[in-house]
């Protein structure tokens, strides 16, 4: 029997444009919709939105088009000078923009409840886009096995929303748009998703706070599929897509100020390296493919959908496609193999 085909997609806000473009290229080379190329897709934050889109039947190309088409509705505003956007944000009305300025000023000191805490962006744009793109389907109706990360801030516990659980326990069967909102509520970018779930109130924040690279979750979820098909846990073909990162630097060297050490701690908590280490230890080398751009220009702002920013991401994707063309052909062939 052929290996279980697994797709894992990192978090990274608007940088999700990069893995979406890579996935669209794989789809093009395979001449097959991406949703039919994989048995399981696992995603965090923007990667979770891409995964959910695939599981509703959307093409990878349409998901790549998602970022230039909806970026401004999600993050607001127009093409403006960086200083003005940083202070006043990108909300539409004067009141919204002043609210953003209040959050920016108040954020370091605990936020301003009157203006929605310390989130930089109002959630209405994101929620409207998710409703429009994903419709009314529930998690149990996903067209492929799906696992999406989140984190409940009220209990300080990681959460994984999966189609498998939704089909066996109706309490897990949330609307896919709510799952997408729960996985992408990045602290300081969007307010948490507050809903009643399983008999209590929950405050979901971005799954990237514990699994920015969800490859480790993808490995554990794949075990259910391999065992169900009489295969070993290593009988998977694993494709992991990153959203770009800066070259790694040293950390925790003991010479930084406490602020510098706190920064090291945050970077470690949101690192994509842990997921990669777990996947490489679990999956045979010949069955693991990681597509990641390492470039400080790419690893910039996660909430900047400007034309210039998207052009940088598109150029990085084009460079990777050119440099690893043979590998992309091999990936497409492996995904099509029976």
Active site members: 45, 206
CA distance 93 to 98: 9
Q: Are 241 and 328 in contact (CB under 8 A)?
A: no
CA distance 129 to 134: 8
What sign results for the dihedral spanned by CA atoms 61, 65, 70, 74? Answer: positive
Biggest CA-to-CA distance, the chain: 60
Q: Are 117 and 191 in contact (CB under 8 A)?
A: yes
Q: Which residue, 3, 4, 40, 43, is CA-closest to 20?
A: 43
Q: Which residue, 3, 20, 2, 1, is CA-closest to 11?
A: 20
Q: Are 16 and 180 in contact (CB under 8 A)?
A: no
Spatial neighbors of 8 by CB under 8 A, at least 6 apart, are 41, 42, 43, 47, 213, 214, 215, 217, 218, 238, 239, 240, 241, 275, 279
């Amino acid at each position: 029997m052929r290996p279980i085909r697994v797709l894992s997609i990192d978090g990274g806000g608007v940088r999700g444009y990069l893995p979406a473009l890579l996935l669209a290229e794989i789809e093009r080379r395979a001449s097959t919709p991406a949703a039919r190329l994989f048995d399981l897709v696992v995603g965090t934050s923007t990667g979770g939105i891409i995964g959910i889109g695939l599981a509703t039947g959307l093409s990878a190309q349409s998901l790549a088009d998602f970022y230039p088409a909806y970026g401004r509705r999600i993050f607001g505003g127009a093409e403006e000078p960086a200083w003005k956007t940083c202070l006043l944000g990108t909300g539409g009305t004067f009141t919204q923009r002043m609210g953003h300025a209040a959050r920016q000023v108040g954020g370091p000191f605990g936020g301003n409840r009157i203006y929605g805490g310390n989130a930089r962006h109002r959630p209405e744009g994101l929620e409207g886009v998710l409703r429009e793109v994903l419709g009314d389907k529930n998690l149990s109706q996903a067209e492929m096995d799906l696992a999406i990360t989140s984190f409940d801030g009220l209990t300080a516990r990681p959460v994984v929303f999966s189609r498998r659980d939704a089909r066996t326990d109706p309490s897990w069967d949330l609307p896919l748009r709510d799952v997408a909102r729960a996985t992408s509520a990045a602290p300081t970018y969007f307010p948490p998703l507050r809903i009643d779930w399983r008999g209590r109130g929950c405050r979901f924040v971005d799954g990237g706070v514990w699994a920015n690279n969800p490859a480790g979750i993808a490995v554990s979820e794949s075990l259910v599929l391999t065992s169900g098909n009489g295969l070993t846990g290593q009988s998977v073909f694993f494709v992991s897509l990153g959203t770009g990162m800066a070259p790694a630097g040293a950390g925790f060297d003991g010479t930084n100020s406490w602020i510098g050490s706190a920064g090291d701690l945050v970077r470690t908590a949101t690192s994509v390296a842990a997921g990669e280490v777990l996947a490489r230890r679990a999956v045979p080398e010949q069955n693991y493919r990681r597509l990641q751009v390492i470039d400080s220009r790419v690893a910039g702002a996660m909430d900047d959908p400007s034309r210039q920013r998207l052009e940088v991401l598109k150029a990085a994707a084009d460079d990777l496609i050119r440099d690893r063309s043979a590998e992309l052909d091999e990936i497409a062939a492996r995904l099509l193999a029976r």
